[in-house]
Structures are given as C-alpha cells and as structure tokens.
Amino acid sequence: MLRKWIPAAIAMGFFFWGCATSYLPDRSQKPLLDADLAEVVADLPKPPGNIAVSSDQQVYFTFHPEADPAIRVAKLVKGRPMPFPDSGYQHRRGERPFFDTVLSLRIDRQNRLWTLDHGDFGRGQPRLLAFDIYTEEIVHQFDFPSRIAGFGSFLNDFQVSPAGDVIFIADTGAPVPVLGGSPAIIVYDVKKKSARRLLENHESVKASSHVLRIGAEDFSLLGVPILIAVDSIALDREGQCLYYGAVNGEHLYRIRTEYLMNPDLTAAELGFYVEKFAEKTMSDGLTIDLAGNIYISDMEHSAVHLMDPNRKLKTLLKDERFRWPDGFSFGPDGWLYFTCSDLMNVVGKRASHIEAHAPYRIFRFKPGNEGIPGH
C-alpha cells in the first residue's frame, strides 16, 4: 500500500519543501439534520472502504486496502463481516482470480456485484470481477492491460450504467507523482470487453494544490502532503451525466456520457464538453438520489453534504463520530449508507496504531429522498 511508496515520498519532500501550503475554505454549514439520526450499522476492527447495499438490504463492503486486511470483500451477516463470496477469494490461490487490493464495489440494476481491484497501484493486475449476488458465482472478469492501467495507476472508484453495459472508472493515478501514472477517466464496454483512457491529465481530473487538513493535522506521508486526484464519481439515474472531482479539489465537474462513449471525439473535443458544475468541499464519495440531489462526503469537517439541482450546497450531517466519511450506497426504503475509513489513522500507520483506533464504523440515515440501491 502507500507505505511501500515511502522512499519516493521522501524524494517528493524536496519538491514540496519551501512551497506555501494552502487550504480550502470551510464550506460546511450548520447541519440540517440531527447527527443522532445516523444509525451505526456495524462496528468493525479495521476501516471499511466502499459499500454497496442490495435492494433486499444485504450489505457488502470492502475493508480498506491501506489497512492490509485479511478480508478484502465482506458481507454483513447478523452484523458481522463475513468474507464474500468465501475465504478462498481473499488471497492468492494459484492462477484463479482473487482479491488483491479491492477498494470500490457497486451493485448494478442486473443484480451483479462488481468489484474493482487496483492491483497495488498497477504493480500487480488491475481487475474487474462481477458476481451474481444470488448464486455468488463470477459472471464477468476483465484484466486491464498495462496500456490502460499500468504501473502508477489507481483504479479507485466507479459507476455502472443503468443497462449494466458501460462502467465509468476514476483512475486517480499514483499517490506519489514521481512514480508515474496520471489521472484519467476510464470507460469500459462490458459487452466488447474493451477499455479506453479519456480526459487524461485534463484540468477536471487533476488535484488542486489545496492540502487536506483534519483538525490541526495535514494529510501527509512523512511530512509530504498527499494530493489525491479524481476519485469522487457519480452517475445520474438515467445514466446521461457523469459527475466527478478530485479529492483535493474545489470543483465538481460533469460531462454527458454520450460524449465519453463517442470514440470519434479527439481529446480536445472531449475536453470541450466538460462542464465545471459547482464548488464543492474536499470529498471522497459521491452519490445521487432520484430527485437529482448529489451527496458529498467531506472528511475535513466530518460531514455529509447535499448539492441540490440548483447547485446549492447544504450540510446534512456533521459529527465527530464520522471519521473520514468515505463511500456511499443507497439501500431500500430511503436509507443512505456511508462508510468511515478514518484514513488519517490508517495511511502510513503501523498495524498497532490502526487497531488502537478501532472500532471503525458504517452508518446509515434517511436524507428524505430515495436512491437506487447499490449506488
């Protein structure tokens, strides 16, 4: 994980030494909802990454790869995390597919659980696996070639089209820039089993110079600020617009998916169609409800925000219990689930430090509008 990049982080320190540090202004507000409305779904021994909740309220999630978990992909069974689909997938087992560094997962409208493995930042094999959630059998596999997700890539988060035939992936790029890799949006055609890299190094996918700060502490590795590019990504209910932004970014962008799926557009033409949608906070997760409201997780202020269709930002929840709110998933009955990965106490930390800050939590609340389960 990131601790493997420590020598390069030291080298990067010479680049940042002497540079002025800037922070994003606090855009959070007085929350509209009482924090007590957020229920604890699970107390976990290690931090969760992302989450997907099915229409029958089955909760699937990843344990964050940065904590080096024994279980990579889990399903909650009576409140306890159990390996999904079984323990055999949680480690290398010969030539058969397995989970290496899975961070994000989604359930599509075809009842398939998709998992995205970044392959240790491209050092291994980045991979998509899809499982039928009822039979728990693999129904799709794609191993990304190095020209799409090579060394220094970071296949971070993704969204699946309503028809389940296109997947939009945020490639954040290497956490330490000197090691290569660059941010981009990857579009994967499920039927053709082909992928394209788009908007590579476009303004909309790059991190800003604003440093993420929680309390009095900067998010850094050995004193070197960690600037995270495109990660937050969401797709509207019709699959017509993709919203995305950098973690260390002050703007949310959007583009119509018809342009992303048009292979005849040049890079310049595609970039022309990107819209700077609105100002946002630092963010890790995004999702959209059926009314077109966008939900944003804000780790700097332990908050969950809503951006309405008029692009107005409102704070829904804010509480110290929400230690680095991370991934979202709607479930049935209007519940919105979110994980708290507390990466300030995970990235670059010893196992004993991570264990000492348990429990790590999954929460849920009702924001007032329903969404599509699994998204």
The pLDDT > 90 percentage for the chain reads 89
pLDDT of residue 22: 93
169 has pLDDT over 60? yes
The residue-averaged pLDDT of 246-260 equals: 97
CATH of the domain at 163: 2.120.10.30
Average pLDDT of span 48-67: 97
Closest CA to 105 of 129, 138, 139: 129
Specify the pLDDT at position 174. Answer: 80
Read off the pLDDT of each residue in 270-283 and give the average, rounded to a whole number: 97
**The residue to which tokens 């930390």 are assigned:** 349
Residue 342 lies in a domain: no
Q: How confident is the model at residue 13 (pLDDT cuts 50, 70, 90)?
A: very low
b/e per residue 1-20 (b: at least 16 CB within 10 A): bbeebeebbeebeeeeeeee
Instruction: List pLDDT tens digits, range 337-364.
Output: 999 999 999 999 999 999 999 999 999 9
**Is 361 contained in some domain?**
no
Q: What's the pLDDT score for residue 21? A: 78
Q: Is residue 299 part of a domain?
A: yes
Residue 362, in any domain of the structure: no
Q: Mean per-residue pLDDT for 313-337?
A: 98
pLDDT on residue 16 = 42
Q: Please give the pLDDT value at position 181.
A: 82
| Assigned domain for 146 exists | yes
Q: Are 125 and 119 in contact (CB under 8 A)?
A: yes
Average pLDDT, rounded, for the chain:
93
Q: Is residue 45 part of a domain?
A: no
pTM of the complete model: 0.95
pLDDT over 60 at 39, yes or no: yes
Q: What is the pLDDT of residue 329?
A: 98
> Per residue in 102-138, pLDDT tens?
999 999 999 999 999 999 999 999 999 999 999 999 9
Position 178 pLDDT exceeds 60: no
Provide the domain limits for residue 231: 2-36+56-318
Asked if the structure places residue 72 within a domain, the reply is yes
pLDDT band at 223 (very low <50, low <70, confident <90, very high): confident
Separation between Cα atoms, residue 169 and residue 242, nearest integer Å: 10
Q: For residue 157, how many C-alpha atoms fall within 13 Å in the half-sphere facing its CB?
A: 30
pLDDT of residue 270: 98
DSSP strand pairing (213-214 vs 217-218): antiparallel
pLDDT above 70: residue 56: yes
Residue 213 included in any domain: yes
Q: What is the mean pLDDT of residues 309-326?
A: 97
pLDDT for residue 17: 40
Give the count of alpha carbons within 13 A of 272, CB side only. Answer: 5
Give the chain's domain count: 1
Residue 8: per-residue pLDDT: 46
pLDDT surpassing 80 at residue 184: yes
